Each structure stands twice: as C-alpha cells, then as structure tokens.
Amino acid sequence: MQNKSQVNDMGSIIAPGAREAAFRAFGAYRRGEARPELQYGFSGESSGMSASETALAMRILNGVMQNMAFCDYIASCFSSIELKKLHPLVLDILRISIYQIVFLTRIPHSAAVNEGVKLAKKYSNQRAAGYVNAILRKVSDCAANNRLPEAAGGNERQRLSVKYSHPEWLVGELCDILGQEDAEKLMRDNNSAHTPVTAQVNTLMADTDTVLSMLADDGVEAKKHDWLDSCVDLHSPGNITLLEAFKRGHVYIQDAAARLAVEAAAPEPGDFVIDGCAAPGGKSFASAIRMKNTGRIAACDVSAAKLSLIEGGAMRLGLSIIETMKKDATENDGGFLAMADVVIADVPCSGLGVIRKKPDIRYKAHSDISALPDIQIKILSNLSSYVKPGGTLLYSTCTILKQENEDVVEAFLRENREFSLAAFSLSGIGRFPGGMATLWPHIHGTDGFYICVMARRPTK
C-alpha cells in the first residue's frame, strides 16, 4: 500500500462543501466536460467556499486523479458488485471517500463515510446510499486496523499500475527507459502532494530577496530554488495572480526545466529569437530577460487567444522586445528563412513529464500519443529553416518518451545534414557534451523535460 506520509493531510476541520465540489469537478472531468483545475483553484465550484474548503476540495480532486486505479482496486475488494456495473456517480462517490480514508490521515473516517453517504442520497437514491455506507465502513474498519489489501496484479508491472494509478502501457514505457526501481520512484514522485509552484524572478525589475519579502507579506511560504538562481518555489500559494509580486511583474510562473531549456539555447542581448510554439509564453519571457530586453523576439502561435495572453504577460513583465505573431508552426514563412540567431521549437507533446502537476495527463489515450512524432518532426523541420548559418536550434518537450524526443531528433538530423548536436551546460546539473538531456522529477526535482540543442553549420 502507498505510504501515507507521502500525502499532505489538509487538517482536521472538515467542510462538507469541499467534498461535493471535488465530486462535481471530478464528474465533469470524467464526462469529458472540463479538465479539472488542478493547480490554481476551482473557477466557479469554489464560489462561496472558504480558503480551507477550497484547499481541501483541491486536495481531494488531485488525490483521486493521482490514485484512481488504487481506489478502484480497494473498492473492488469489498464490493459484491462489479465496479463496471455501478452507476458512474456512485463509483465517483466511492473514489473520493476511499481516497480520504486511505490517504488523508487527519480526516476522521466517520466523516468521510458519512459525507459519502450524504452524497449518495443527494445524487442517487437510498439503495445506493446503503451500498456506499456498507463499502465505506468495511474500508474504514480495515484502514483503522492496518488491514487494507495490498495492490495486486497478474505481474509486477500490473501491480505497479494499480499501486500508482499509472496506465499499464505507461508503466511499461517507464520501466523500459529507467528500470523498474527508478520507474517506481518516478511514479511515486508523480503522486506526491508536495510539488511546489515554481516561479522565475524578473531580474529586470526585482531581485530574489525582494520577491521573497513580497511573498512573505502576502502570507505565502516560499524559498529560493535549491540550485537555480532567480528562481523561487512557492508552497500552497492560492491564486497567484492576486499576489503583489505577480501583479507588479516581478515574477512569472515557469518550471525550472523550461527555464533551463532557454539557458541551454543561450540567446544573447541583441539576438533575433523565434519562439515557434510560444504559448503560454514562458520561454519568450525567459529569453527576453536573459537578453536584457534588447534585440527581437517573435513569439508565434496558432491561437490568437493564447497570443493575447502572451501580450498581457509581456506587458506585465515590462518586456518590450516580444512581438506576437499568429502562425502555424507547420507552415513555412519565407520572410523568416535563415534569419534567426536562435529558434525555439518547444513542440506540442504528450505532456507526460508534468504528471505530478497535472495528474489527469496520465489518462491520455496511447493512440493519441502515437500520432505526435509525425507532427513534431514536421514542426522541427519547418522551424529549422529559420535558423541562420551558425545559429542555434532548440528542440524541447515536457515529455519523457523516447519516441517524442531522441527518435524525433535523430530522424530530423538524418534529413538535415547542415545541423549537428551542440554541447551545452545546465546550472546545477552539469554539462551535456552530446547535445541532449532528459530531466526527471525524481532525480532533478523538475518537470520531466527533454532538451536538445543543435547548431546550423556556418556558411563557408
């Protein structure tokens, strides 16, 4: 069974509204109506809830997303009815209640049981309420006596799939890449409740100590990143857009891995940079700050709405060299040919490196992911034509799958002999003479992220 100490308990003051909000949000996700707001709060569901209620609702929603297969397994061990025959709403009630009993040690089991029964009465019927009551009481009794069943499966990978609620195909991929021991460490890290929000300091407007002081004034627990300058980790910051440091443009939200990707590309003041798939804008912002707001950055994206958000972010941060452009990264722009000192190809990907922050990503269909490499190669090939001779091409993803990373780069290099891998260094991590790096949550404390730097051969 998973270690309860890995989960952040929310305290002993229980708000019934929080459970219902989590239940409703999870149901909306399951029905495909909305992706749950897993990091910044409930937009609408939290209306009228206190900060503590919202925090508890978030913890339950995140926790069920992280541990759904395991909660289902526990339910199946005590149910005389196959789970697939249950009404989906009843199964959802079991999931959020079992999660509380098994993982949130400061919540009284009786509260989780009673509130689960209330939800069953409200959203189903008396018979369902009796069923839910019976199952949850059995689970509660076993949990109280430390007799909950261990995760099981037909083989070790199936067992890990149940224990950590990662689909079996993904468990297989991770074991093949990392080996079983490291794969299990990664999955455990993916299910952690302690992942901080990482923010970068806009050094053109403030220093790290000033930002930390402002965050403290707003009641936010924050500290300097362990090894990356001008980077801070925020714990339970609530709505970040309401913080004074954010409103003044002193910080923007970006994981350390994405910041390091820009460091690897190393744009310099006065450069012309093309960010080919720029939304939500973090790499354009990091480049502009590194360039001391001198030079030019073309932040391109296919979505006008996302470009508007980048414009707003650049204005808030005081970054005047960023120009947004509505462009499809698969379609060539002749005006950009061989013009850029640095081209950033941060391509659409499966996102499997950010499961710890967005637990629902693990449930993407494998078939949807298998189509991505063709798109990624097409984007990379197109954007590479914008790199001037002697310039730099950055390929990056927030996934850890070889078929989206190394395989894409190798296919590109076979067809584009004027490009070659270029060595780079990452602060706090080291030098990568082979031109490629994969960052891992359980090793580096960052998002799972792939960074590759290539150089275009100078003109003779």
Q: Which residues have a Cβ under 8 Å from the Cβ of 459 and sit 6 or more positions away?
A: 389, 390
pLDDT for 15:
42
Q: Which CATH number fits domain 256-456: 3.30.230.10, 3.30.470.20, 3.40.50.150, 3.30.1360.40?
A: 3.40.50.150
Mean local confidence (pLDDT), 253-265: 98
pLDDT digits (tens, 9 = 90+) for 193-206: 888 999 999 999 99
Beta strands in 206-336 (DSSP E): 221-224, 231-235, 251-253, 272-275, 296-301, 322-326
DSSP reduced 3-state for 56: helix
pLDDT of 40 reads: 41
The domain limits of the chain are: 4-150, 197-253, 256-456
pLDDT score at 239 = 83
Higher pLDDT, 11 or 434: 434
Q: Which helix (H) or strand (E) holds 145?
A: none
pLDDT surpasses 50 at 3:
no
Q: Residue 14 pLDDT > 70, yes or no? A: no
Q: Is the pLDDT of residue 110 over 90?
A: yes
Q: Does domain 197-253 have CATH number 3.30.70.1170?
A: yes
In the prediction, which pLDDT does 12 show?
42
Per-residue model confidence (pLDDT) at position 213: 97
DSSP per-residue letters across 341-385: EEEEEE-----GGGTTT-GGGGGS-HHHHHTHHHHHHHHHHHHHT
Q: Token pair 């609408």 is at which residue?
A: 44
Between CA 52 and CA 54 the distance in angstroms is 5
448 and 440 in contact (C-beta within 8 Å)?
A: yes
- Tokens, residue 37: 């707001």
Is there a shared CATH topology between the 4-150 domain and the 256-456 domain?
no
pLDDT at 47: 55
Q: What pTM did the predictor assign?
A: 0.92
8 — pLDDT class (breaks 50, 70, 90)? very low
Q: Does the pLDDT of residue 174 top 50, yes or no?
A: yes
Confidence at residue 42, expressed as pLDDT on a 0 to 100 scale = 57
For 324, phi then psi, to 5°, come to -85, 145
- Containing H/E element for 455? strand 449-456
Contact 453, 433 (CB under 8 A): no
- Give catalytic residues, as residue numbers: 398
Indicate the residue type of 297: I
Mean pLDDT of all residues in 158-165:
98
Query: Tokens standing for 226?
Result: 């362990």
pLDDT beyond 90 at 164: yes
CA dihedral 421, 422, 423, 429 (to 10 degrees): -80
**pLDDT-based confidence at 1, cuts 50/70/90?**
very low
Q: Give the right CATH number for 4-150 from 2.40.160.40, 1.20.1250.20, 1.10.940.10, 3.30.2130.30.
A: 1.10.940.10
364 has pLDDT over 80: yes
Residue type, 336: F
| CA of residue 280 relative to chain centroid, distance | 13
Is the pLDDT at 398 greater than 80? The verdict is yes
Higher pLDDT, 295 or 21: 295
